[in-house]
Structure 1
Amino acid sequence: MAFYGPRGGSRGRGFSSTGFRGRGGARDSRVRGRSGFRGGPGKPIFDCARIAQQKEVEENNAQSGEESSLEEEQDLELDDESIIDEDEESLPAVRSYAALMQSLFSESGPQSKKRKLDHPSDVITERRNSANDQEVNDLAAEDADDVEEAEEGPETATDGLLEEVAEDSEDASDPFEAHFADPDNNILGQKLKSIQQDQWSTQKVLFQKVGKAFFSFPRQDIIQDVSPNEIPDSSQLRLKQKLATAVSKCRPCFDMLERHLAPLLFNYQDVLHCERKTSNSESLRRLTCLHAVNHIFKTRDRVIKNNSRLAKEDNDDLSLQDQGFTRPKVLMILPTRDSCVRMVSMITTLCEPEQQENRKRFDDSYVEKEEKFSVDKPDDFRELFGGNDDDMFRLGLKFTRKTIKYFSQFYNSDIILASPLGLRMALDGKDEQKGDSDFLSSIEIVVVDQVDALLMQNWEHMEYIFEHLNLQPKEAHGCDFSRVRPWYLDNNAKYFRQTIALTAFNTPEINTMFYNQSKNWAGKVKINAFYPGTIQELGLKVKQTFSRLDVASFAEDPDARFTYFTTAIVPALTRRSKDSAGTLVFIPSYLDFVRVRNYFSTSTSTTSLSFGSISEYSSVPDVARARSHFLSGRHSVLLYTERAHHFRRYQLRGVRKVIMYGLPDNPIFYKEMVGGYLGKSIQEGKLEPGEGSVRAVFSKWDVLKLERIAGTERVGKMVREKGDTFDFV
């Protein structure tokens, strides 16, 4: 089975957000002839080469610097994967040109391509602006994520030496060594046994100005010390020198959040951080990218050093197990292409590559510079949907000595960045191509950013992806099994994988996936804040009534909620139909929305109520009509879903009363609908101060939502105390 690139298609078959498109043939300009010289069979190779040498020497003495620049540009376009030796670089240009001419005429095929390490910046710029323009435009017009290239084994990806390979010694105190490279087998065996028996010990720790952290470790005789460990700056992290220099420039000191999170991330513990905001998103992105790239560089350097040892030592008994089954080590799951752009920009800032192959193609496909939304949209909405909001993408990043290559084939990539939908399509395959998940077999770090936004897409894709992580591969893919780490061979890779999930709030779905899929033998931690409650942040006085449902099980919740709504809330609206004008009914679930909408349409008890509806599937004309009728009073009730508000953030006018069929996951939505909609009606004079009201229905299964809205101190009493009605002003 072969896998041809980030789009998951076979040769000439790729996916796009608008449909399926095919393209034939490789478009890489590096494999095309550039010199214009064409030789046929039967011509004397060496005579022709000597003539060319003689001509070149004469021309070099007479030509200007402009022609020399062209010669450098031709050398630049050779393959970026091999590195020329110093002795070969010091050779005269005549011999270099002769070798090239011989390779062009040789019947045995071209020899290995080579490239220079130092290139003038103007040559690089000229190459990007001229030679690749047509290629990039053609690719953008077709399938921007589809690529074809030869598949490499995991060890062949490390051709060439890093400058800093020799600087690092194998230190047992380095978290990379202790967790991946050389773990203590005695401790590891005990912890794996505890994990397999689902035995965990949990401790609660308070982080100053951050929140409460819940640590979970595989149960052992010795309780681990989880006291807060703060790191003031990056100097105390075990970073590669190149990364340490870059991060010290852009972030000389850590803030309070970074001081607490850095030791958790770099000790390879699983982290569920439930307080991601637009204000701290940059800090979180920097930390996760720094950790991911540092892990890749350390893994690669270990392989390079061992390659050197194997080349020097002729010892059949030498065992160097330093790899996985395939090359990709880091998976980043992101909601939109714009979020991918921000993540990639952070990676390039930290790595400071000298060259970025296919960068223009990446910018054309992912970057959208025009501002789409006005300033009245909230910050979290602008961050998520600003720029290119396409949620169908997958991208491979490959690191070489001084280059980052975009759109690399998955099996040749170090980092895979993808949306849940894009990755799911690659896993499933299409048409004649069968599904393939082998490229996820050796993932060691998973970063899921803006998990709350992914929850509003299709959560089934996330569950499907995690089910296919760290499975045993079906094919070898060029793997040298003598170099594979033993815990990969023992099918224990899932116990070493680190999961980093960043979300604005926690939900039962996120919580369940984290605790079910997180089997890290280093432990896991969930971080929550103390919530004062959104009800105190509204900016206006309004009566808020919370009604509790007593439901025995989660499966019974939908039916109990519908029964309460139709027997307690709807009759109150119909008794005073004149007072029902301007009633907004907020419904989190689309299934509940359909049920309520059908009830309003068919029930005889609602004949006196005119209503409209807006869901995530409503067309633009239908939304405009519903908003207009609701504002004019033609419709007294408007049914509104949470996903519609998430994707559109409509500014509804004419709201006089808010009924929440269920609490929103995002506490910002409660503030926008109560404080925003009712506040706007007061400003427009359609509602007197203090006249508006809110009625919210909740059960004990909504405890996470209720905590964010009512506050951490109140949630316990509202769930456990006698009585089922709680009023706030």
Structure 2
Amino acid sequence: MAFHGSRGGSRGRGSSSGRSRGRGGGFRGGRGGRGRPVFDSARIAEKEAKEDEDAKFESSEEEELASQDESSSDEDEIQLPTVRPYAALMQSLAAESRHQPKRRKLEHVQEAEEPMPQENEVEQPETEAGVVDVDHVEEVEEGPETATDGLLQDDEDLEDASDPFEAHFANPDDNLLSKRLKALQENQWSTQKVMVPKFGKAVINLPQSDGSKPTTALTSISGPEELKLKQKLKGAVTKQRSSFDALEMHIAPLIFNYQDVLFCERRTANAESLRRLACLHAVNHVFKTRDRVIKNNARLAKEENNDDLELRDQGFTRPKVLMLLPTRESCVRMVNMITSLCEPEQQENRKRFEDSYVEKDVNFSADKPDDFKELFGGNDDDMFRLGLKFTRKTIKYFSQFYNSDIIFASPLGLRMALEGQGDKKGDYDFLSSIEVVIVDQVDALTMQKWEHVEYIFEHLNLQPKEAHGCDFSRVRNWYLDNNAKYFRQVIALSAFNTTEINTLFFNQSRNWAGKIKISANYSGAIQGLGLKVKQTFSRLESPSFDSDPDARFTYFTTTIIPALTRRSKDSTGTIIFIPSYLDFPRVRNYFATSPTTSNLSFASISEYTSVRDVARARSHFVNGRHSILLYTERAHHFRRYRLQGVKKIIMYGLPDNPTFYKEIVEGYLGRSVQEGKLEPGEGSVRVIFSKWDVLKLERVVGTERAGKMIWEKGDTFDFV
């Protein structure tokens, strides 16, 4: 899939209610690959418009910037298109096909030795903005039949009835499948809640029309020897991990049984284990799919009269696995894990991959927290897409999408490919046969533009517009019946759950094998504070999710603001933390234009604020020139500022990431105590929440307390 556009679009998050939240490129700057500048007229125009808006509320006087220390100055169901009848579809696709269906004779199969890989010397095209597109591919589309290149990975029996691959894709139980598909089409699910040892709670959902409880029980395995793996992979993973830890023991059966999994307890400590399991499963699925095709080709070649032989073993196109990742560095980690498991003899275009994706420079101070280092370490560019192709001895990087087995992409990068750039038309046929979707660091994607993720899922497993060399006599029946979405497995790994993530998983997870969501029983971030401070949680009444922003703003202006204006002298050192950028300009404009706040001086820092304006805002806040500082969650996510002079914290809403609560409350107020600007025990925290914040609330105050705070009669809750 060639790409001829520059990196564009504001990063941000869009919720299911339509409240789009954005993050502009002006805040972080863009690094295309290894430090290359990235331009986009839409993003620049958006940024300039926002800066013009900001300028209306900034003082016109010139003010000298205070010097800052180095560490602190660094910056219900998707409706698918109408499907044509099968006969009409085959007729039109066959007419549009650029390749005639063909079957290869594989008597005396002997794979020619592949030439030593050479670096791609083709000059990379430039975008309209003059930026080299390092992910551009100049390669002819080969068609799905090229998946048959090579020999079987090993001689094991490919039709083991106990193999989850056989039970889910190749030879599912027709009676069970028909019942499950009927339940899915009628959106009928049965639910069971169970406890997962050492991890918390799990919610199991199975499509069942009779309303009975799920029969799936959580199982555990001791190590990779108990998994149905290709022999080559089993040997490689056993060398890395001969036995499983507690997490792997419980998660591996779910992943390898092709159930949809939303795991909400991803941490830097367990990231490597989860990555290994996800990559092992992806490669194992690719190898088994490919070997099934090769075996059937050999069978066709040996049968003299094979007109009556029906072998259904393929999809419409070759790509089978899609990995959605937040940054190029996260892609590097996945690719390196795959190569360590496959142990290929050759890697074609590896140097180009390293030049485009690997970055060893550290661009932030060493005092950043571990989760920040993991996400933003290395090449943190969020605009990329990469095709990976397997042959018997080789892994090829930058393969054309239709020739690839696995596609790695950021949501922004893949959406730009789907929509097309310049003269290139949009195309999503290469997603028609995706069978496994792996989304790592989902929480980080919510801090980009969540609408991109939703858009991609809406375009998965749609019937293709062109044939792309497909041999329809080999396509599995459930593809032809437009049921591919019911066989697709989704593996989502996140540090926590959010409304956006939960909604996507609920709407797009339609797996006939069922789905499971695992999350913790939280003790609460307030339990781990190393600081004694009064924390007041105030519940506002909000009748619906859509009306929540208006109800919150009304509560803020009628309850919180009067308390600030009555004692304006005591408001010095107040931070107002605002999670959503959509709420941020509304609050900022109120401070700038309302007569009620005329005696309150304020500054603001959002994800769009320039480095120079951030430095000025921080300087004026710490020296008391501005008594109030408006601060957004995404600004903290991308920069983790260590603000000084904080004496009081007002949270317009709770952060999605519970770590942010601790960093802001303990970090900012604790620093003021250390610097002598605040006496121990002084300072305060005021939090506004509603019943729609239950997922955020339980991570901050604890699961047990959250239920009481949502439903009890009182609306004010104090913690010390």
Name the TM-score class by shorter chain.
0.7 to 0.9
Q: 2:545 aligns with which of 531, 549, 554?
A: 554
Secondary structure, aligned partner of 1:515: helix
In the alignment, is the contact (CA less than 8 A) between 2:190 and 2:207 conserved in 1?
yes
The offset of 1:590, in angstroms, is 0.9
In the alignment, is the contact (CA less than 8 A) between 1:8 and 1:426 conserved in 2?
no
Q: Give the letter aligned to residue 276 of structure 2.
A: R
Which residue is 1:592 aligned to?
A: 583
Q: 1:655 aligns with which of 629, 633, 646?
A: 646
The separation in 2 between residues aligned to 1:224 and 1:586, in whole angstroms, is 43
Q: 1:540 aligns with which of 531, 551, 554?
A: 531
Q: Do the aligned partners of residues 316 and 367 (structure 1) sit closer, same or farther apart at CA in structure 2, a change above 3 Å counting?
A: same
Which residue is 2:150 aligned to?
A: 160
Secondary structure, aligned partner of 2:414: helix
The offset of 1:143, in angstroms, is 2.0
Q: 1:433 aligns with which of 424, 427, 433?
A: 424
Q: 2:490 aligns with which of 493, 499, 516?
A: 499
The separation in 2 between residues aligned to 1:562 and 1:488, in whole angstroms, is 49
Which residue is 2:73 aligned to?
A: none
The offset of 1:223, in angstroms, is 4.3
Q: Give the letter aligned to residue 113 of structure 2.
A: K
In the alignment, is the contact (CA less than 8 A) between 1:6 and 1:395 conserved in 2?
no
Which residue is 2:192 aligned to?
A: 203
Secondary structure, aligned partner of 1:304: helix
The offset of 1:88, in angstroms, is 12
Q: Do the aligned partners of residues 614 and 150 (structure 1) sit closer, same or farther apart at CA in structure 2, a change above 3 Å counting?
A: same
Q: 1:18 aligns with which of 14, 38, 62?
A: 38
The offset of 1:434, in angstroms, is 1.1
Counterparts of residues 144-223 of structure 1 (less than 5 Å):
144-164=134-154, 166-221=155-210, 223=213
Deviations 1:165-202 (A, max 9, x none): x3224011110001000111111111000011110000
Secondary structure, aligned partner of 2:546: helix
Residue 269 in structure 1 maps to residue 265 in structure 2 = no
Q: 1:563 aligns with which of 540, 554, 562?
A: 554
Counterparts of residues 522-541 of structure 1 (less than 5 Å):
522-541=513-532
The separation in 2 between residues aligned to 1:183 and 1:157, in whole angstroms, is 23
Unaligned residue ranges in structure 1 (runs of 5+): 10-14, 21-82, 90-113
Secondary structure, aligned partner of 2:417: helix
TM-score by length of 2: 0.84
Q: 2:240 aligns with which of 247, 250, 270?
A: 250
TM-score by length of 1: 0.83
Secondary structure, aligned partner of 1:701: helix
Q: Give the letter aligned to residue 157 of structure 2.
A: D
Residue 395 in structure 1 maps to residue 386 in structure 2 = yes
Residue 418 in structure 1 maps to residue 414 in structure 2 = no
Secondary structure, aligned partner of 2:347: strand
Q: Give the letter aligned to residue 290 of structure 1.
A: L
Which residue is 2:14 aligned to?
A: none
Q: 1:363 aligns with which of 344, 354, 360?
A: 354
Deviations 1:476-520 (A, max 9, x none): 000000000000000000000000111111011110000100100
The separation in 1 between residues aligned to 2:426 and 2:319, in whole angstroms, is 18
The separation in 2 between residues aligned to 1:265 and 1:554, in whole angstroms, is 33
The separation in 1 between residues aligned to 2:463 and 2:620, in whole angstroms, is 58
Secondary structure, aligned partner of 2:469: coil
The separation in 1 between residues aligned to 2:534 and 2:402, in whole angstroms, is 58
Which residue is 1:33 aligned to?
A: none
The offset of 1:162, in angstroms, is 2.7
- Please, which moves more after superposition, 521-530 or 148-157? 148-157
The offset of 1:691, in angstroms, is 0.4
The separation in 1 between residues aligned to 2:310 and 2:148, in whole angstroms, is 19
Secondary structure, aligned partner of 1:527: strand
Counterparts of residues 42-57 of structure 1 (less than 5 Å):
none
Q: Give the letter aligned to residue 425 of structure 1.
A: M
Greater per-residue helix proportion: 1
The offset of 1:564, in angstroms, is 1.1
Residue 7 in structure 1 maps to residue 27 in structure 2 = no
Q: Which has the larger radius of gyration?
A: 1
The offset of 1:87, in angstroms, is 9.9
Deviations 1:665-703 (A, max 9, x none): 000110000000000111111110000100000000000
Q: Do the aligned partners of residues 149 and 133 (structure 1) sit closer, same or farther apart at CA in structure 2, a change above 3 Å counting?
A: closer
Secondary structure, aligned partner of 2:144: coil
Q: 1:711 aligns with which of 693, 702, 710?
A: 702
Which residue is 1:700 aligned to?
A: 691
In the alignment, is the contact (CA less than 8 A) between 2:262 and 2:491 conserved in 1?
yes
The offset of 1:163, in angstroms, is 4.3
Deviations 1:444-470 (A, max 9, x none): 000011111111111111111000000
Q: Give the letter aligned to residue 38 of structure 2.
A: T
In the alignment, is the contact (CA less than 8 A) between 1:6 and 1:396 conserved in 2?
no
Deviations 1:595-638 (A, max 9, x none): 11001001111111100000010011110000000011000000
The offset of 1:341, in angstroms, is 0.4
In the alignment, is the contact (CA less than 8 A) between 1:172 and 1:178 conserved in 2?
yes
Secondary structure, aligned partner of 1:404: strand
Secondary structure, aligned partner of 2:387: strand
Q: Do the aligned partners of residues 592 and 244 (structure 1) sit closer, same or farther apart at CA in structure 2, a change above 3 Å counting?
A: same
Q: Do the aligned partners of residues 650 and 150 (structure 1) sit closer, same or farther apart at CA in structure 2, a change above 3 Å counting?
A: same
Residue 378 in structure 1 maps to residue 378 in structure 2 = no
The offset of 1:226, in angstroms, is 3.0
Q: Do the aligned partners of residues 350 and 676 (structure 1) sit closer, same or farther apart at CA in structure 2, a change above 3 Å counting?
A: same
The alignment yields a C-alpha RMSD, in angstroms, of 2.3
Residue 289 in structure 1 maps to residue 279 in structure 2 = yes
The separation in 2 between residues aligned to 1:156 and 1:568, in whole angstroms, is 67
The separation in 1 between residues aligned to 2:462 and 2:39, in whole angstroms, is 30
Q: Give the letter aligned to residue 404 of structure 1.
A: I
The separation in 1 between residues aligned to 2:132 and 2:699, in whole angstroms, is 45
In the alignment, is the contact (CA less than 8 A) between 2:125 and 2:136 conserved in 1?
no
The separation in 1 between residues aligned to 2:666 and 2:124, in whole angstroms, is 48
Residue 320 in structure 1 maps to residue 317 in structure 2 = no
Q: Give the letter aligned to residue 352 of structure 2.
A: R
Secondary structure, aligned partner of 1:194: helix
- Tell me the matched-pair count: 624
Q: Give the letter aligned to residue 7 of structure 1.
A: F
Q: Give the letter aligned to residue 176 of structure 1.
A: F
Which residue is 1:26 aligned to?
A: none
Which residue is 2:631 aligned to?
A: 640
Q: Do the aligned partners of residues 603 and 142 (structure 1) sit closer, same or farther apart at CA in structure 2, a change above 3 Å counting?
A: closer
Which residue is 1:93 aligned to?
A: none
Q: Do the aligned partners of residues 224 and 590 (structure 1) sit closer, same or farther apart at CA in structure 2, a change above 3 Å counting?
A: closer
Q: 1:348 aligns with which of 333, 339, 351?
A: 339
Q: Do the aligned partners of residues 136 and 238 (structure 1) sit closer, same or farther apart at CA in structure 2, a change above 3 Å counting?
A: farther
Q: Give the letter aligned to residue 610 of structure 1.
A: S
The separation in 1 between residues aligned to 2:132 and 2:611, in whole angstroms, is 29
The separation in 2 between residues aligned to 1:264 and 1:180, in whole angstroms, is 16
The separation in 2 between residues aligned to 1:487 and 1:670, in whole angstroms, is 47
Q: Give the letter aligned to residue 551 of structure 2.
A: A
Q: Do the aligned partners of residues 356 and 136 (structure 1) sit closer, same or farther apart at CA in structure 2, a change above 3 Å counting?
A: farther
The separation in 2 between residues aligned to 1:697 and 1:287, in whole angstroms, is 40
Q: Do the aligned partners of residues 711 and 472 (structure 1) sit closer, same or farther apart at CA in structure 2, a change above 3 Å counting?
A: same
The offset of 1:145, in angstroms, is 0.5
Deviations 1:524-543 (A, max 9, x none): 00000010000111111000
Q: Give the letter aligned to residue 298 of structure 2.
A: S
The separation in 2 between residues aligned to 1:378 and 1:651, in whole angstroms, is 12
The separation in 1 between residues aligned to 2:498 and 2:186, in whole angstroms, is 26
Q: Give the letter aligned to residue 613 of structure 1.
A: S
In the alignment, is the contact (CA less than 8 A) between 1:158 and 1:400 conserved in 2?
no
The separation in 2 between residues aligned to 1:216 and 1:291, in whole angstroms, is 22
The offset of 1:225, in angstroms, is 3.0
Q: 1:116 aligns with which of 105, 113, 116?
A: 113
Secondary structure, aligned partner of 1:225: coil
Secondary structure, aligned partner of 2:588: helix
The separation in 2 between residues aligned to 1:653 and 1:163, in whole angstroms, is 60
